[in-house]
Amino acid sequence: MAAAKAGISRNSEENSALAGRLSREIAGDILFDAPSRGRYATDASFYQIVPAGVVVPRSMDEALRTLTICRDEGRIVTPRGGGTSQCGQTINEGIVVDFSKHLNRLVSVDVENRTCLVEPGIVLDDLNRQLKPHGLWFPVDVSTASRATIGGMAGNNSCGGRSLRYGTMRDNTLSIDAALADGTLLHFGEVPRDLARANSPENGPSLFRDMLDLGEREAAEIAARFPKVQRRVGGYNLDALVPRNAPNNLAHLLVGSEGTLAFTTQVELKLWPIIRNKVLGVCHFGSFYEAMDAAQHLVRLRPIAVELVDRTMIALGRDIAMFRTVIDTTVRGDPDALLIVEFAEEEQADNLHKLKQLSELMVDLGFGWSHPQRKWGGVVDVVEPALQTAIADFRTSGLNVMMSMKQEGKPVSFVEDCAVPLPHLADYTERLNAIFAKHGTRGTMYAHASEGCLHVRPVLNLKLERDVKAMRAIAEEAFAMVREYKGSHSGEHGDGLVRSEFHESMFGERIVADFREVKERFDPGRVLNPGKIVDAPRMDDRSLFRYSPDYRAGELRTVLDWSAYPGAGGGFQGAIEMCNNNGACRKLEGGVMCPSYRATRNEKDVTRGRANTLRLAISGQLGPDALTSDEMMEALVLCVSCKACRHECPTGVDMAKMKIEVLAARATKYGISFRDRLVAYLPRYVGLASRFASIANSRNRSALLRRLFEKFVGISAKRSLPVFRHDVFAPDVDVFGPVDGREVVLFADTFNRAYERENLDAALRVLVAGGYRVHIPKPADGSRPLCCGRTFLSVGLVDQAREELTRLVTTYAPFALRGVPIIGLEPSCLLTLRDELLSIRSDNDARAISAQALLLEEFLVHEAEAGRLKLPLGAIDARALVHGHCHQKSFGAFKPMEKVLRLVPELRVETIESSCCGMAGAFGYGADTHEASTEMAELSLLPAVRRADDQTIVVANGTSCRHQIKDGTAREAIHVARILALSLDSIDSSPVTTKE
């Protein structure tokens, strides 16, 4: 297996022959190129094994054909879903088969009997979205539900936070259809021990009979050696075979088998009614030990979950923008730990009664808000659904929150999910912390206190030999302690490469021999994902690590500031390595991230895939000069720099910023294309183009010119370019409004100034009507208007962007240093002052400007909340359908847009739940990216606009967003400034209405 690590960039003739055969016989994606193999070489564990190739089948027949071809060619096969396994289950040196892109159907639902049949590649959240109209859900609610597939969950025997009530994946799997390694298709479900009614091919009953015989033969040993805790997911589920479980469900032998026994084609699941009502009690503790000791008592109230959040997770969460508000709202004082207790009875009155009992129980246990630290604590009740959801999002992001440490050492998963009986939980965690301290580290702990299964991660740097040795010692000592408490060393995330080698000490030699017998009977040729559960390598074999002993990042010249991170390139390496592969970027709904993945479902086009490609490139694993290679650009070409990952990735992977580095390196090496020059230098020639607008706009009017532009410039003939105009925004004076009004600066960005001056006119009118003294300062040298440099950054010309920003800083600094707000309309331009400006220069002037930069809606909401807003807004009797710009959402600036629109009387504000519009500056104009741009818009934005009636006002603050809406729906969208100006107009006349 270790040999698979060598040279991702090399591919043998043997692999080429296999790739050729697969390509001839399978219509799906056959990926044998070095970057693709590298992207599938890792999961959410600390391992890396480079596969020979990857197959993404379009149908189950193609998946089974892949199995046949690989068996014929003597290659191993590893099935893969979301690739979020934390123990290395989904990586191997053979062929990886990705089920997630195409094999993801909900095949059928039996509402009356509460069952469904699914393909293994369906994502849990997607399944539950489809079940919701039936009032049903699948309740094994793992924290990775937005990307975890049912097949992967079955492979790991996933548990989720509410297993206290609903059980594990095994408890909710009714049957599995699967192929053996030899191609035999079998139905694994309940069978009587005499097999009289077994519905299988002839060799099926033989296999089933052998398994039941094994269960009968080993029943006493299984009873003696298998831990008596619900959270036992280690090894094969031999206890499913013993006579006392008759009729035996053979599907439960496959659950938790990590793809080593059979190739799943369909899974039948048990469903439950959707939770209608719930409440949370957030129990605070001044002592971690006391919190762990209390868990055994809290479960007596029969909650559906008790989840731990420790001091470290609270502190890290406060540093992550998306979680800061929920922590500030929920957390009281300075707790050492929180236990989040969830009740979900049918009647809300019963839930409220449970909350009262919880508070009383905490008092009975000796806790109080005024008590000394060891017994300090109490309960914060959370009844509001929105706050409950925010708490759940924080809790389920626990892994990524813990991994957000910006240092070489990270919390490492290897004793992650040991499970011990609840009466021992407090002593276990205290002793475990002592083990960590003994080996010079500390640990983080969170998650399933109700099950005695905490996610425990000591902080280690696995690039260092001494920390690898510490990991080994900690594992051996921790697992010995778990056995002492009669717990399980694998309580949720499976065995994989981390825990499989420890099965003999956990289960005994005889049971491990039984595991081998099962593997041999199912898969005698060792075709299916070998090296997991049986015959595993050492967990500390560094040749299998993502950061192997020879891992190095070469010297990197970077153009942006990465000093918050460690490593080469002034921290660029450390920023890239923040990606832990957990896959939050693969979510299909909610938020913005990652729009290109949502459109293509390709690993190449997701933030995780790009981060992996960058890591492999800077460490030389993709060959020399990989950072500036065409393969690198292929991975980045569909990145629209929406900045969603900056906000929504809990470890803060900022791919938009990283893309600038790659573009800058390529621009230095190769220069830039003519199309990129047209984009980048727009702010410098827009004035000339405006003077000759009729000529500049001729391309839009001529089909021939459109075709020529597509052929020679690379701009899609299907797109109309923004229309230049003679009457650009260029006021003769620099200041407007009352002399004694509060000062503000209005930033007239290039796009609104040259193309849509109506927005700037409206904003100026609104600000003056509000009594503000509005400055529109010009550069002291009288040169061209100011620009934020955004267009230069978009093609990697950082020096030119720095020049533009320097002009802007010089002009605006005198205002910013005395606290004057700098107000902008175009999110991508204004928010450059809050983001990239500080990555290019960090002097006092730049920091002052960044601190004062606000979008118009942000400023007006701040003024309203401070009681200073005096806008005479009149009624608009209409519906406003609002789309948020990606950068607004990334910087938490979209809610103010909704709030300011709600200041308008009678305006009915509705938000489109949309990801990126797909236009993304120049991205949507490219002949090579136009189709992807349209696919992104069609995910939700354009259908929502088309559904709106003609009287609905469509609102979008982004220039690109408005153009995408116009191109895709022939509807005009307008900026919020113009809505406010319309509202002002209605004061002087009858109320504005869009009704007939």
Report pLDDT for 567.
Answer: 94
**Which amino acid is located at 370 in the chain?**
S
CA distance 973 to 386: 30
Print burial letters for 95-117: b (CB count within 10 Å at least 16), e (below 16).
bbbbbbbbbbebeebeeeebbbb
CA distance 366 to 353: 20
> Which structure tokens are listed for 437?
């301290």
Question: What element of type H or E holds 480?
Answer: helix 465-484
> How much of the chain is helix, strand and coil, in % rounded to 5?
45, 15, 40
Bond before 247 cis per omega within 30 degrees: yes
**Side-chain-side CA neighbours of residue 137 (13 Å):** 16
Find the DSSP H helices in 256-384.
Answer: 288-298, 311-318, 321-330, 348-364
How far is it, in rounded angstroms, from Cα 890 to Cα 644?
Answer: 5
SS3 label, residue 774: strand
Nearest one of 184, 426, 128, 113 to 297, comparing CA atoms: 426
CA distances from 406 to 231, 503, 732 (A): 32, 34, 49
Q: What is the pLDDT of residue 393?
A: 83
Q: Is the dihedral of CA 799, 801, 804, 808 positive or negative?
A: negative
Which ranges of the chain have pLDDT less than 50? 1-6, 990-996
pLDDT at residue 14, rounded to an integer: 80
Beta carbons within 8 Å of 276's beta carbon, 6+ residues apart: 346
C-alpha distances (whole Å) from 153 to each of 118, 121, 260 are: 13, 10, 14
What is the sign, positive or negative, of the torsion defined by CA atoms of 315, 317, 320, 321?
negative
Closest Cα partner for 104 from 257, 270, 264? 264
Q: Are 635 and 607 in contact (CB under 8 A)?
A: no
Pairing of the two strands 248-249 and 263-270: unpaired
pLDDT score at 11? 63
pTM here? 0.92
Q: Looking up tokens 């949309």, which residue turns up?
A: 914
Report how far residue 524's alpha carbon sits from residue 219's, in angstroms, rounded to the nearest whole number.
24
pLDDT at 2: 41
| pLDDT tens-digit map of 294-322 | 999 999 999 999 999 989 889 888 887 77
Structural contact between residues 613 and 930, judged by C-beta atoms closer than 8 angstroms: no
Which run of H or E residues covers position 518? helix 509-522
The answer to whether 2 touches 44, Cβ cutoff 8 Å, is no
Strands 53-56 and 95-98: parallel
Distance from C-alpha of 268 to C-alpha of 113, rounded to nearest angstrom: 12
C-alpha span between 621 and 551 (Å, rounded): 9
